[in-house]
Amino acid sequence: MTDTPLIQCDLCVIGSGMAGMSAALFAAKQGLSTSMVGRTGEIIFSTGLLDLMAVHPVEKGEIWDDPWACIDQLAKDLPQHPYARIPTAAIRAAFDALIAFLESMRLPYTGHPDRNSLVLTSVGTFKPTYRVPVTMWAGSEVFRRKAPCLLVDIQGLKGFSALQIAAMVGSGWPGLRTVRIGFPGVASSGEVFPERLARSLEAAVNREKLAAAIQPRLQGAEAVGLPAILGISNPAKVMADFQRRLGVTVFEIPTMPPGVTGQRLKEAFEHGLRNLGARLFLENRVFRADADPKGGFRLHAGRTDPEEVIAARSVILATGRFMGGGLKADRHVVREPLFNLPVHQPEGRDRWHREDFLDRRGHAVNRAGLETDPIFRPLDASGRPAHRRLFAAGSILAHQDWMRMKCGSGLAIATANAAVEGAARELS
C-alpha cells in the first residue's frame, strides 16, 4: 500500500445518485477541485421525472398543486425536514441551475410555472411531479383533452401494457386505442430491453421504420404514447424527428425501472461533470475514511478493494439510504457504515415498518437518517458537527420520506447545493 497513488482535491463527493451528482456539479461550477466516488447509484432507477414536493401531510395523502406553497407548509409543520433549513429562494435557485445544466446536456425539461403536473405511469396511475422531460410532456395535455390517442406497446417489452394503461384511464375517453407492434429490425420473438430500443432509435433509419409501422394504425389519432425508448443522449431531438415523421404529437411513458430514463440522467451528469473537470471514480466505493490530523480526509477508494487514496479537504456524504449503502441495518439497529455517524432511528425493529405496506403515514424507518447542523454537517453523538468539513446531502438525511412526500430530486438537489455552499465557506 506504500505506492498507493494520492489524489488531492478540495471536495470529494461520496455517492453518485441524484444528490452526489448534483453536489459534484455545484462544486465543480464553483471552481472547487472536485472528485466523486460512487457505485452505479439509484439514479439508474430514475423515471426521469424530477419531483420537488407534492404530498403533505402524507397521512392525508394531500396532493399539492403548488410545490412551493407545499414546502412552506411543510417547513411549518415539520421543522426538522431538510427543506425547512434551506431558504426557498435557495431551493429554487439550485433546482433551476440543475434544470439549466440538464438542458445544456441536451436533456431538456419542462412543466407548468410553479406548479406540479400529473404524469401518466406505466400502470395507468398518475404521478404528481414538478419537472418533466419534454419527451413526456404532451401526455398530460392529451389526457386532459381526451384527444384521440393511440397507445403503443412493444412486443417483448415486459411490464408495459398499453391495454392496461387504457383500461385504467380509458373511461370517458372513446378516442383512446391501443396497439402492440413488433419493433422493426428486432427478431419478432423474444424479450426486448428499453436501452437497446432507445439506442436503435438514435438512428434516423430506425425511426423511419418505427414510424412506418405505427402510421397505418393511427386512424385519426392526434397523439401517440409509447414507452420511454426515444433515444438516450438526445431524446428531445429523437422525439422531434419522430414526431415529424409520424405527423402527430408523441409522448413517452416511463417504463418499469431500470429503464433508459435513468440512463439518460446518468450519462448527462457524467459527461457534464467531466467537462467541468471533476474527477469521477465510477463503479468505485470508499472502503475507509480517515480524518487527516492536518485537516481534511483520506479516503481509501477502489472497485472491489481499496486501490487509491483520495486526500480531500472536505467531504460530502451522499451515499443514499439502504440501496445506496449509505445506511446499513442489522436485526437490531441502523448504522452509517463509513464514518460510523449516529443515525436517528426508531427504537427497535418492530417500529421500523407499519403493518400495512401502503399505510399512507409511511414507515418510520424511512425517516431515519443523519441529523445535521444548519449547514448540513452531520452531528456526532454529542450533538456537535462530527467534523468541520464533513457534510451530508440527499436521502441519507433524517426527518424526510421522499417516497411518500414526492420530494426526492428536489431534496437531493437543494441539500447538495446547501452542502456545497457550506463546504466552500469552510474551505475559504
Partner 1 sequence: METQVLIIGGGITGVGLARDLALRGVESVLVERRDINAGASGANHGLLHSGARYVRSDPAAAVECREESALLKRLAPHCIEDTGGLFVAVEGDDETYAAEFPAFCERSGIACHPISLGEARELEPVLSDRLMAAYQVEDASVDPFHLSLDNISEALELGSRVMLHTRVVGFNRENGRIRRTRLVNDETGEEMVIEAEQVVNAAGAWAKGVAALAGVEVDLFYSKGSLLITDQRLTRRVINRLRPASDADILVPGGTVSILGTTSIRMDTLDRIVPTVEESDYIINAAAAMVPSLETTRYIRAYAGVRPLVAGKIPGDDRSVSRGFALLDHATDGVFNFVSIIGGKLTTYRLMAEKTADLICNRLGVSRPCLTAVKALKAFPANQWTAAGLSPRLWMQAHRPDDLLLCECEMVPASAVDAVIGGIRHQGGTPSLYAIGRRSRIGKGTCQGAFCGLRINAYLYDQGKLEGRRGLDDLRSFLSARWRGMRPILWDTALLQEELQEALHCGYLGLELGEIR
Tell the smallest beta-carbon distance from residue 34 to partner 1 (Å). Answer: 27
Distance, CA of 169 to CA of 313 (rounded, Å): 53
Q: Is 356 in the site for partner 1 (CB under 8 A)?
A: yes
Smaller CB separation from partner 1, 55 or 152? 55
DSSP 149-183: EEEEEETT-TT--HHHHHHHH-TT-TTEEEEEEPP
Smaller CB separation from partner 1, 148 or 259? 259
Q: Residues 109 to 148: which contact partner 1 by CB under 8 A?
A: 118, 121-128
User: Contact with partner 1 (CB under 8 A): which of 113, 350, 383, 428?
Assistant: 350
Q: 406: closest CA among 81, 63, 77?
A: 63
Tell the smallest beta-carbon distance from residue 47 to partner 1 (Å). Answer: 5
Stretch that binds partner 1, among 11-19, 39-47, 66-74, 219-227 (CB under 8 A): 39-47
User: Contact with partner 1 (CB under 8 A): which of 256, 291, 375, 424?
Assistant: 256
Phi-psi group of 110: left, alpha or beta (phi > 0 → left; psi -120 to 50 → alpha; rest → beta): beta
Smaller CB separation from partner 1, 3 or 191? 191
Q: 119: closest CA among 143, 99, 145, 98?
A: 143
Q: How many residues does the chain have?
A: 428
Distance, CA of 101 to CA of 397 (rounded, Å): 25
Tell the smallest beta-carbon distance from residue 39 to partner 1 (Å). Answer: 13
Q: Residues 56 to 75: which contact partner 1 by CB under 8 A?
A: 61, 63
User: Contact with partner 1 (CB under 8 A): which of 190, 216, 220, 293?
Assistant: 190
With a CB cutoff of 8 Å and minimum separation 6, the contacts of 320 are 15, 17, 19, 41, 42, 326, 327, 394, 395, 396
Tell the smallest beta-carbon distance from residue 158 to partner 1 (Å). Answer: 5
Tell the smallest beta-carbon distance from residue 247 to partner 1 (Å). Answer: 28
Classify burial at 407, counting beta carbons within 10 Å of its beta carbon; exposed 0-12, middle 13-18, buried 19 or more. buried
Chain position carrying cell 483520495: 310
Distances (CA, A) of 334 to 24, 64, 142, 350, 366: 27, 32, 45, 13, 11
User: Contact with partner 1 (CB under 8 A): which of 209, 245, 279, 328?
Assistant: 328
Q: 92: closest CA among 342, 410, 397, 371?
A: 410
Smaller CB separation from partner 1, 121 or 233? 121
270 backbone dihedrals φ, ψ, rounded to 5°: -65, -45
Question: Angle, to 10 degrees, between the axis of helix 235-246 and the axis of helix 204-218?
Answer: 40
Tell the smallest beta-carbon distance from residue 188 to partner 1 (Å). Answer: 8
Smaller CB separation from partner 1, 76 or 144? 144
Smaller CB separation from partner 1, 48 or 148? 48
All cell numbers assigned to 343: 443515525
- The secondary structure of 208-228, three-state, reads HHHHHHHHHHHCCCCEEEEEC
Distances (CA, A) of 318 to 4, 361, 369, 420: 25, 26, 12, 12
Distance, CA of 246 to CA of 211 (rounded, Å): 6
Stretch that binds partner 1, among 16-24, 27-35, 297-305, 325-333 (CB under 8 A): 325-333
User: Contact with partner 1 (CB under 8 A): which of 347, 358, 374, 383?
Assistant: 358
Tell the smallest beta-carbon distance from residue 256 to partner 1 (Å). Answer: 6
Site string for partner 1, 203-242 (x = CB under 8 A): ----------------------------------------
Q: Residues 402 to 421: which contact partner 1 by CB under 8 A?
A: 402-404, 406, 408
Q: Residues 257 to 276: which contact partner 1 by CB under 8 A?
A: 257
Tell the smallest beta-carbon distance from residue 372 to partner 1 (Å). Answer: 21
Tell the smallest beta-carbon distance from residue 406 to partner 1 (Å). Answer: 7
Q: Reply yes or no: is the peptide bond before residue 258 cis, omega within 30 of 0.
A: yes
Tell the smallest beta-carbon distance from residue 1 to partner 1 (Å). Answer: 29
Tell the smallest beta-carbon distance from residue 31 to partner 1 (Å). Answer: 34
Q: Is 158 in the site for partner 1 (CB under 8 A)?
A: yes
Q: Reply yes or no: is the peptide bond before residue 57 cis, omega within 30 of 0.
A: yes
Distances (CA, A) of 53 to 7, 47, 125, 130, 169: 38, 16, 18, 8, 24
Q: Which residues bind partner 1 (CB under 8 A)?
A: 42, 45, 47, 55, 61, 63, 118, 121-128, 156, 158-161, 163-164, 167-168, 171, 180, 187-191, 254, 256-257, 321-323, 328-331, 348-350, 352-353, 355-360, 362-363, 365-366, 402-404, 406, 408
